Amino acid sequence: MSALTKTLGSVLEKTLMAPAQVTAVTALGGFRLIELRGEGLKKSGWTPGDKLRVKTGDLELRTYTPLLWDDKKGLAHLVAWLPGRGPGSAWAAAVKPGESFFFKGPKESLKLSKAGEGPVVFFGDETAVGAAAALRRLRPLDKDLRFVFELDDPDEAHVALIALGLPDAARVAKSEDGSHLKAVRKQIQAWAGESQGNAYVFLVGNQESVKTLKSKLSDKLPDAKIKAKVYWREGKAGLD
């Protein structure tokens, strides 16, 4: 790494970021639940669905959606998927309690509280598990809140989903040709259809999946409120 890159990274830390420390790391199958503490996490104004950017290298930032943030204690929890590619997965796999890091945020990303009190369906993939867990914490006893995930390994992911309060989430194995999205769409339609038109649907994660589902569901559920949020697309990092 060049001296210039290191210098720019140092400037980034001092001018735009705040320090924090990793205080606990819990293995959840192919995921890690990471606890963060620091003065910079206090009085943040975080709301469920906001994002946090972690500095994982000199000029590398990776985005996570915390599932919990306590402004008074200066405490936040985020969940990271390890099989994902790039510096973010490498950082999450290697980080240990006691290590310090720099972060930026929170910043508005997905307004989970906008869903109101009506029926809600949340679709996502491994990168959306944190946002889904934040939504569940926002409405912990709500039986009208349903989740469906497209996953590389549905059985392994179930370990994390149980631990994060999402044991009943529907899990659909990804297919290379996207044919699994037909089953996902039918499941969303079935759940949202029970609300007789006033459902709120979140579509979060991979660009192609989100785009395909939004197109189909806009016709099938014309009265539902559909909020789409792309977290990533193949060959492109740092979309959110």
Cis peptide before 48 (omega within 30 of 0): no
Distance CA 36, CA 33 (A): 10
What is the predicted pLDDT for the residue at 6? Answer: 52
Mean pLDDT across the stretch 197-206? 92
pTM, two decimals, is 0.92
Going by pLDDT thresholds of 50, 70 and 90, the confidence category of residue 174 is very high
pLDDT score, position 11: 45
Mean pLDDT of 157-185: 97
| Nearest partner of 77 among 101, 115, 111, 41, judged by Cα | 41
Q: Give the helix/strand (H/E) hosting 213.
A: helix 207-220
Structure confidence by residue, pLDDT tens digits, 78-101: 999 998 656 788 889 999 999 999
Domains and CATH numbers, the chain: 3-107 (2.40.30.10), 112-232 (3.40.50.80)
The values of phi and psi at residue 85, to 5°, are -90, 150
Share of the chain above pLDDT 70, in %: 88
Helices in 32-180 by DSSP H: which ranges?
Answer: 87-94, 129-138, 154-163
Predicted local distance difference test score (pLDDT) of residue 99: 96
Nearest Cα to Cα of residue 136 among 166, 93, 95, 163:
166
Asked if 120 contacts 110 with a C-beta cutoff of 8 angstroms, the reply is: no
pLDDT, averaged across the chain: 90
Residue 161: name the closest of 169, 151, 153, 172 by CA: 169
